[in-house]
Amino acid sequence: MTELLYLKDCYLKEFEAIVELVEGNRIEPDRTAFYPESGGQPADFGEISCDGKSARVVMVKKEGGRVLHELEKPAEEIGIKQGCTIKASIDWDRRYTFMRYHTACHVLAAVITKEEQGVEITGNQIALDRTRMDFSLENFDKEKIKQYEEEANKEIAKALPVRIEFLEREEAFKIPGLVKLRKLLPESLKVIRVISIEGLDQQACGGTHLKNISEIKGITITGTENKGKSNRRIYFKLKE
């Protein structure tokens, strides 16, 4: 099973690993800082090198407990084989943009769920140029959209720290809002990764996040859509 380095350190840009499996242009290292596509967050891209030769990483996906890194060319062309040591680097600008968007999603969700009782997040998709979030709202008051944006930016201006915590299952379920996940998370998952924004939000999450929400800089809500009964979509962009 691949060790996921980003779970503890989202700012790790370079690392070394030992290759455990080679399948054409896909490799499985024993450890990685590359985020695999999942949970509405795209995969990290970057570069992997071996003995002075390198290749671009163009996709990263999870398959069971394995994290497979897809290269732009067959691994053997750059001398990668099972048991060899590789050096890897992540496209930081891409990763950091996703970190800003993902943490911004948590801030905006916290603001909306505070204002609208019983609201749940039903989906999200992060991209480099904007992000969308879906909420279970029967009545979509567009007049409140500007209010959500303003409240989110007020929170961002507070420069609240973000902590990564690993809590025992029963301890995690003592957190309001996480107890509803009890039946959704497999019993085999004994330790839960929790992203805590001080005084604002706590969520079980496997994504990459900032150390402080001030790094978001701010958001602008750019549009809304009705996506069927009780499903509303909000689009937003980052401020630069």
87-139 tens-digit pLDDT:
999 999 999 999 999 999 999 999 998 888 778 888 899 999 999 999 887 77
Whole domain around residue 48: which residue ranges? 3-90
Q: Which CATH number belongs to the domain containing residue 44 in this structure?
A: 2.40.30.130
pLDDT of residue 181: 67
Domain boundary among 90, 123, 151: 90
Please name which of 180, 76, 163, 74 lies closest in space to residue 121, comparing C-alpha atoms. 180
What are φ and ψ of residue 145, in 5° steps? -60, -45
Structural contact between residues 156 and 212, judged by C-beta atoms closer than 8 angstroms: no
Report the candidate in 150, 156, 148 with the shortest Cα–Cα distance to residue 200. Answer: 156
H-helix or E-strand spanning residue 18: strand 14-23
Domain's final residue, options 90, 108, 124: 90
Looking at the fold, whether 99 and 83 belong to one and the same domain comes out as no
Q: What sign for the dihedral angle of Cα 63, 93, 193, 104?
A: negative
Residue 179 burial class via C-beta count within 10 angstroms: exposed 0-12, middle 13-18, buried 19 and up = exposed
- 114 and 25 share one domain: no
Which of 40, 235, 232 has the alpha carbon at shortest distance from 136?
232
Give the least confident one: 2-6, 110-114, 165-169, 229-233.
229-233
Q: Is the pLDDT of residue 157 over 80?
A: yes
